[in-house]
Structure 1
């Protein structure tokens, strides 16, 4: 029984190809193949990206600096300070 279940061989591929041509039409086959190729390329790139992410060690987030009310500067003050330096 296991000999009957397996990958299609020569004649079966021809029958499958004929059915695909009948269903999609000969004009649509290049578009179908192009779309399938693009989808496979995107899938491979994404899986490679996931593998690369797993290989990299996790980097800690940079420390955040919180400004106190005294350290906050208004935009106008910065412009005034730059004008004073240029004069």
Structure 2
């Protein structure tokens, strides 16, 4: 399992949302587990932090680059990938 996590670290992942493709990288992949409430990603060249609140992923900062819906979809894809 650790080999898979290290392999995914730095890999570009793709998600399609709202008719648009988004490419992102997980920055703290080694620390992802079921108890993790915060995940850092690189999206469009900027670091974004996703927080788990009330069983939903949301952006830590309120900004225009990533909305609640996109953050939720990225969080879901990471959760499926890491079985969290």
Name the one with the larger strand percent.
Answer: 2
Rg larger in structure? 1
TM-score by length of 2: 0.24
